[in-house]
Every structure is written in structure tokens, then in C-alpha cells.
Structure 1
């Protein structure tokens, strides 16, 4: 159905507009389907007297509200950058995904409270072919919604749609449990309606908490994937004149709105205008191939001095002996009458087993052991990738 509607209504070729259109289309379809499910389940819950079915109906009503939030989120996120938001409005998608998660948690709490009341005051649940048919159709519809939201959410990198997919899958499992409880009560007389409702509530609360974490993380700031970092590295290093890169930082302002900054090591003997032209080419290619706005800082390094190059390699090997996770960059040597300063940066990951002071002290000791006239002037920093 989504594919058919997309062919009918989504004719824009621009990737950003197409992404926005798919998000709004899925939100509109979700509103319609969830309202239909709410009406059917509310009728079934009224006819059967089942608190689990009635609660599940209101869960679908909250899902309709979630789909509305998703639709509005995609619409607002698609707005162009303006004077107040120069980086665009892409993070609204994360906020809409968080709002969906909060609604899921709210409905899980309300369902749990209603189920506890039903456990304390049990009553028979009546079932009929109409009630059972509505529940079976609901399971099928929710599985379909989980499928298309997950597929498009992965394709478009849309957290709100992925959160909706998780919600739809948990809803189908919840409705299946309600159906099982209805059948057990009908054929055995065992009243487990309230207990099943409590189980459904726990499942909904778990999915809501999981979805909330997945949408809060990008708002707080998460590191880029290893694959994305490698694509950047491969693209930059493919250019002649670039010897190495470090201090890569990726700023995420929402799907399709990524800014990166990095330091590119270049030969100190090259003409600065030629190197600057090459850096411009790298930035242009990053924009064209990865959709990234890039800012690249040039770090000139000595390549024709055998002593500096050899010493750098020896120091890098010593640092790796301390820990394989430590790397160095911006290495230079400043010679004096009595000693030589080896000036460089050491990069360690977040949560490293040693403090910055301990890392610096170990490196200084290792460098002094390498040559008594060498003094390490080292700055310890963290890796953002």
C-alpha cells in the first residue's frame, strides 16, 4: 500500500524532499490505520468486557497520536535553514521520535494500572467470532506497519520511523497475548485477562524505554559509525599530497545534515597554494559523495628529514607498547644546546584505563629511555570517532 501511495503522491526527485515525503506519507497512513484499529478494538472490548482489549484499543489511539507527531516532525524537519537555525531543523526528527517514546511509556503505565485493577477484581470475559476476528486483523495490520516503518526507517535513517516500527511490533505481540487470554478464558474459565494485560504493559514499557534511548542518544551526541569514518578516511587519503588525517570530528544536525572537521597532514615543503587547492578539492568531494560540509585544517609535517621521520616512528612504537589504543600526531623536534624537545599530541579513547596525567608521564619516561637528551612535550587528547 505504501509503495502504491508513494507512486501516486511522491513525484519529487530531490532526495531530501523525497525523504520528507515518505515520512509524512507513513505518518498519515499510520494515523488512518491506528484510528481504524482503535474503533474496532474499542467495540470488541465493550462487547467482551475485556480490560486488556479495551486498553489495547487506547494503545492504538496513542499510536495514532504518535503517527501525527511523526508526520508533523518530518514536515518541520524539512524546513530550510534560517537565520535562527542556520544548520536546519533536522533534529526535530529526533524530538518527534522522543515524543513517540514518551507516549508509549505513558500508555504502558496506564495499561499496567488498569491490569492490576482487573487482577484484584477479576470478571469473566466474553468472546465472539467478531471479537476474535478483530483481534486477528489487528495483529496482521500491526505486523504490516512494523514492516514498512522498519524498512523505510532503515532506508531513510529516520529514528522516529524506527521507533514506530518497534512500537508496532510490540503492539502485535501484545494483541496476540490478549487474543490468547481471551481464548483461554473462553474455553477453560481461567481468568488471566488482567495478568496478560500486565504482561502487555511490561512489554510496552520496555519498547518505550528502548525507543527513548535510541532517540536521546543522537540528541546528546554519538560518535559516527566505523563505516562512515572509514569512508571519509579513504576518500581523503585517495588525494595526492595528503599523508595522513587526525582530529576528525563529525557534527550531526539531523539526518542528511552532517558537518565534519579534520586535520590533514601535508608535506611541509610543498607550495602552500597548491596544497590549499588540493584541500578545496577534498572538501568538494566530501560534499558531493557523502553530503558533508567539511572544514579541513592543514598540518605541515617534515618529510625530507630522516632524523625526524625515524624518531617519530620510534616514539609511535614506544607509545603503542604502553597501549595499542594510543596514537600520536603533529610530531616535531626542536633542538637546543643541551636537549631536544619532542612535541606531539597523543590520542586516547574515552573511558581509557589511565588518566591523562598517567598517559603523559608514561610517554615522557619512555621517550627519556629512548635517548637521555630527549624531552617529550606531549598533549593528551580524546578521540571523537
Structure 2
């Protein structure tokens, strides 16, 4: 890769940064999630008050979790956006995991509350009243959650935000939960089997537990400095392969994910006869190539002479 190509890449990176700065911030999407949660809470509790369905009550409880989680997401995204400082030289992006951990915990609490209410209703079944109007309100809330979850999922991919992704999948789970509750109420209205209402609520609780455990697992993976995804590692390997034909070698590749940011470091081994300037230029070109392929990634390289045996002492991870 020539120096002119390298300079062209830098211009491309700068133009990409300008376009990124004009995108809506992750926090604006969190505000959208908060607004949607408030609306769906009102609709679902209205549906519950009309029908008396414990299934709709369980759905409304989950929307309360959505609201608390959205508020937590807004705080986490605000804190994660702070620039690096003396005490946090790698930035504050890991703050996003506080939001996903809080959301996972609250999901489990909501599931427990739903299960308690459902068991009581199972042994003391009650008829469902005004099912038609209640279902209309529930379906309206479901449509709102479905639209917002789609928007958040698209934004999470563009902004590489685990907080928005977690919120999107949670809302999407809420959508399927609401669909299940609506079907349960419909079956009760058709069959007259009141016991189907608490059974659906218990199934909802089980689904919520699965979602909560999954979110907590993803949070733990991030807090333990999990490696970047396999497809991104393959992209790095492809870039490196272009330079191995020039006598350049690599080792000690280390990667980790911290919220919306990724960190990559590795050693670059070049012929010892090269000048420092030439080796430095190659490292800069490779770093920019990876930054182009993986936006939001901080790349650090360490230059070493390939002929020196000491250079190979840290080939493997310690």
C-alpha cells in the first residue's frame, strides 16, 4: 500500500467521522424508548382495568420494567459518551453494562411478580370482562413497542451500542409476550376456560426469565473483557494477510469489547534493517485500515525487529 493510498484512507476516515457526528446520538433513542414505555404502561394498565386479565397485568408489569430500563439506558449512554480523562484513559464506554445488568435484574423481579399473581389466579380463576376493548388497547401498545424495537435495533447496529441492542431485544420480547397474552384472552373468550389466562401469564413469566438471564450473560461477557466477534477478527486477519507477503509478521493479537467501543492491539514485526520511519508508516497504514474496516475501534501496535529472538518471547497470550 502506497503513501498516497494511506493519505487517501485518512481523508476517508475523517469524512466518516463527520457523517457519524451528524447521526442522532444513542441518548436520543433512549428518550424515544422512555416515551414508548410511558405510553404502553398507560395502555396496558387500561386494558387490565377493563378486562381483569392477569395476563394483561403481567404484560403491564413488564412495561414498567421497560420504563426503568430505558431510564437506566439514558443514564448509561450519557455517562458512556464522556471523553477519556486522567482516571479513565480508555473512556467510559463500559458504563453501558450497568444498564444491561439493571435491565436483566429488573426482568427477573418482574417475572417473579407475574408468577405470584398467576399462581393465585390459577387457583382462583375469574371471568374476563370487556375483552374486545381491552384487546384493542393491548394491540395498540404492542404496535408501539414493535415500531420502537425496530428503530432501536437499527440504531444499535449503526452506533454499535449494546445498551440499545439490549433495549431493542427486550421490547421485541415484550411484543411476542403481548401477542401471547392477546391469544390467551381470545381463547378464554371463545372457550370459557378461565384457567388459560393464568397459564399464559406463567408462560410469559418463563419467557421473561429467559430474556433476563440472557441479558445478564451478555453483561458478564462484556465486563470480563470478551473478545470482539469472530467476523471482526476475520476482517483483521484479512488485512494482516495483505502485508505478510511483504515480509511483515504479526503476533500477540489481543481484542476486547467495551460497550460501543472495541480495542485491538498487536505486535508488528518488520526487518531490522528498516528505518524507524518506514516501520512507523507501515503501522499507521495498518491501524487506519483496521479503523476503516471496524469503525469505533481503537487500534494499538507495537513495532519490533523480526530477527531479534526477544521479539518472539511474547508471541503467546500470558
**TM-score (structure 2 length as normaliser):** 0.83
Query: 1:58: which partner in 2?
Result: 61
Query: 2:248: which partner in 1?
Result: 243
Query: 1:138: which partner in 2?
Result: 141
Which of the numbers 183, 192, 201 marks the counterpart of 1:180?
Answer: 183
Distance in structure 1 (CA, Å) of the matches to 2:36 and 2:235: 40
Question: Please, which moves more after superposition, 123-132 or 237-246?
Answer: 237-246
Question: Please, which moves more after superposition, 228-237 or 198-207?
Answer: 228-237
Structure 1 residue 151 and structure 2 residue 157: aligned?
no
Which of the numbers 219, 224, 227 marks the counterpart of 1:220?
Answer: 224
Give yes or no for contact 1:262–1:297 (8 Å, CA) kept in 2. Answer: no
Which of the numbers 261, 281, 293 marks the counterpart of 2:299?
Answer: 293
Give yes or no for contact 1:233–1:245 (8 Å, CA) kept in 2. Answer: no
Shift of 1:382: 4.4
Give the 5 Å matches for 1:68-217: 68-191=71-194, 192-217=196-221
Query: 2:6: which partner in 1?
Result: none
Query: 1:305: which partner in 2?
Result: none
Distance in structure 2 (CA, Å) of the matches to 1:229 and 1:242: 21
Change (3 A) 1:144 1:201: same
Q: Where in structure 2 are there 5+ consecutive unaligned residues?
A: 1-16
CA RMSD of aligned residues (A): 2.7
Shift of 1:111: 0.8
Which of the numbers 11, 14, 24 marks the counterpart of 2:27?
Answer: 24
Distance in structure 2 (CA, Å) of the matches to 1:83 and 1:110: 44
Give the 5 Å matches for 1:208-357: 208-236=212-240, 238=242, 242-256=247-261, 258-268=262-272, 270-282=273-285, 285=288, 289=292, 290=294, 291-301=297-307
Query: 1:368: which partner in 2?
Result: none
Distance in structure 2 (CA, Å) of the matches to 1:56 and 1:213: 24
Distance in structure 2 (CA, Å) of the matches to 1:174 and 1:226: 32
Distance in structure 2 (CA, Å) of the matches to 1:17 and 1:171: 32
What are the superposed Cα offsets for residues 215-249 of structure 1, whole Å, 9 maximum, x if unpaired? 22121122223333343344455458552111111
Shift of 1:276: 3.6
Q: Which has the larger radius of gyration?
A: 1
Shift of 1:155: 2.3
Give yes or no for contact 1:236–1:282 (8 Å, CA) kept in 2. Answer: no
Query: 2:36: which partner in 1?
Result: 33
Change (3 A) 1:246 1:38: same
Structure 1 stretches of 4+ moved >4 Å: 13-19, 236-242, 344-347
Distance in structure 2 (CA, Å) of the matches to 1:136 and 1:284: 50
Report the 3-state secondary structure (helix = DSSP H, G, I; strand = E; otherwise coil) of the residue aligned with 2:259.
coil
Report the 3-state secondary structure (helix = DSSP H, G, I; strand = E; otherwise coil) of the residue aligned with 1:301.
coil
What are the superposed Cα offsets for residues 61-111 of structure 1, whole Å, 9 maximum, x if unpaired? 221111111111111110111122111111111221222222222211211
Give yes or no for contact 1:96–1:160 (8 Å, CA) kept in 2. Answer: yes
Instruction: Specify which structure has the bigger relative contact order, considering alpha-carbon pairs within 8 angstroms and separated by 6 or more residues.
Output: 2
Q: Where in structure 1 are there 5+ consecutive unaligned residues?
A: 1-12, 303-329, 333-343, 348-380
Query: 1:371: which partner in 2?
Result: none
Give yes or no for contact 2:150–2:168 (8 Å, CA) kept in 1. Answer: yes
Greater helix share, 1 or 2? 2
